[in-house]
Amino acid sequence: MTATALSRLTLTDFRSYARADLVLDGRPVFLVGPNGAGKTNLLEAVSLFTPGRGLRGSSLAEVGRRLPGEPVGRAWAVAAVVASNGEETKIGTGVGEPGAARRTVRIEGETVPPGRLADHLRQVWLTPAQDRLFLEGASERRRFFDRLVFAAIPRHAAHAQAYEKSSRERMRLLTDEGGPPDAAWLDALEARLAEAGALMAEARARTLAALQSEIDERGERPFPQAKLSLTGEWEQMAAKGAEIADIEVKLAQALAAARPRDAAAGRALTGPHRGDLAVIHAEKDRPAAECSTGEQKALILNLVLAQAARLARAEGSPSPILLLDEVAAHLDARRRGALFDEIEALGLQAFLTGTDEHLFEGLKGRAQGVRVEGAELGAL
């Protein structure tokens, strides 16, 4: 493991902040302030030091600060200094003009592809939007689980993007009313789909097996134990030990056979985009969807902590940063204390938010407290 933490965070015209500069000491950070003060905005800024749209999934225009009467968000930037084993690296991202289609990423002043951020930071997060994870559709659970996969296997994001792009192109061909689709072009697209899909399925199955092993080894803790499985056909093949090449061949064959059905449905009905994450409360032997809201939250948190623990031990990779938005308020005192102890034991930098300072009594002296109010920051 490479011990990693942010030592400075700077925001310019980002969300509610005209300018903010936060100096960090490497310990966990708890952000306290009323609703709407800008706590989650700080977490979102940190989350943009990964490829993708960050923890809110917002567009580039949405995150730029916008005053009343301004039609689009302003050009914005977030920058940080990453401290890792005594060395510091400056990273930053943002857009140079309002309405820009792509953001720029820089590491030590050099413009680089967003994927290079994973060389310096790994992140795992939990937000209030995930409170209904087990009650929503499968797409939300796939997105949540893929974030855990990506934290351990950064190339997973590129495979998912390649899969989505080829899938869109295939569906355009299948649903084009201009005449029969070009069979050779469909073969080529389905070959790309199968290659990316097989890699996705294998990465998901590998991550799930490692997570289950971590959860089992952690034993009895204040957070409920979970039994995990992936319901997708292709992930199950990978879980049973099928080679990636074999999955790729079978997926390409399935896609070719499904052309008439997919064209009629207007969407692809086979592939790793159809899989789901199933979670069982081990002690109660009950699906997570049938558990109480508090139990569901604790189950999700256990998954996040298990992945963080795995990443914290990984050799040659930066240790993860945890972003936990409004998590403490949903836990009883025992589990809240256990969460704080776990973060400290793992030696990770975590950012936690809450409206009440008393929620973080157990962290005082062990973490850095920050008051957030009116987009202004101050020490607690």
Q: Which pLDDT tens digit goes with each residue over 4-50? A: 999 999 999 999 999 999 999 999 999 999 999 999 999 999 999 99
Minimum mean pLDDT among 19-23, 68-72, 358-362, 365-369: which range? 68-72
CATH number, domain at 73? Answer: 3.40.50.300
Residues 262 and 207 in one domain: yes
Average pLDDT over residues 131-141: 92
> What is the structure's pLDDT at 177?
76
> Could you please report the per-residue DSSP string of 167-226?
HHHHHHHHH-TTSS--HHHHHHHHHHHHHHHHHHHHHHHHHHHHHHHHHHHH-S-SSPPE
Residue 129 within a domain: no
Residues 169 and 228 in one domain: yes
Residues 152 and 204 in one domain: yes
- The half-sphere exposure of 24 on its side-chain side, counting CA atoms within 13 A, is 26
Q: Looking at this protein, which amino acid is placed at residue 201?
A: A
Question: According to the per-residue pLDDT averaged within each range, which of 68-72, 182-186, 351-355 is highest?
Answer: 351-355
Residue 85 within a domain: yes
> What is the structure's pLDDT at 1?
46
Residue 126 within a domain: no
> What is the structure's pLDDT at 220?
64
Residues 163 and 116 in one domain: no
Residue 309 within a domain: no
Residues 330 and 231 in one domain: no
**What is the tens place of the pLDDT at every residue in 150-178?**
999 999 999 999 999 999 999 999 998 77
Residues 53 and 104 in one domain: yes
Residue 163: other Cβ atoms inside 10 A? 22
- Total domains present in the chain: 2
Residues 151 and 117 in one domain: no
Residue 268 within a domain: yes
Residues 156 and 271 in one domain: yes
Give the domain extent around 210. Answer: 134-293
Q: Which of these three, 293, 327, 342, is where a domain ends? A: 293
Average pLDDT over residues 190-210: 98
372, 37 contact by CB (below 8 A): yes
Residues 153 and 270 in one domain: yes
**What is the tens place of the pLDDT at every residue in 288-343?**
999 998 899 999 999 999 999 999 988 878 999 999 999 998 888 999 999 999 99
Residue 50 within a domain: yes
Residues 194 and 271 in one domain: yes
Average pLDDT over residues 61-78: 91
CATH number, domain at 159? Answer: 1.20.1050.90
Residues 149 and 245 in one domain: yes
Q: How confident is the model at residue 69 (pLDDT cuts 50, 70, 90)?
A: confident
Does residue 2 surpass a pLDDT of 60?
A: no
What's the pTM? 0.93
> What is the structure's pLDDT at 374?
87
Residue 312 within a domain: no
Q: Which residues of 193-221 are buried (b: 16+ CB within 10 A; e: fewer)?
A: bbbbbbbbbbbbbbbbeebeebbeeeeee
Residue 307 within a domain: no
**What is the tens place of the pLDDT at every residue in 75-114?**
999 999 999 988 999 999 999 999 888 999 999 999 999 9
Residues 193 and 259 in one domain: yes
**What is the tens place of the pLDDT at every residue in 219-259?**
767 889 999 999 999 999 999 999 999 999 999 999 999 99
Q: Which of these three, 244, 260, 293, is where a domain ends? A: 293
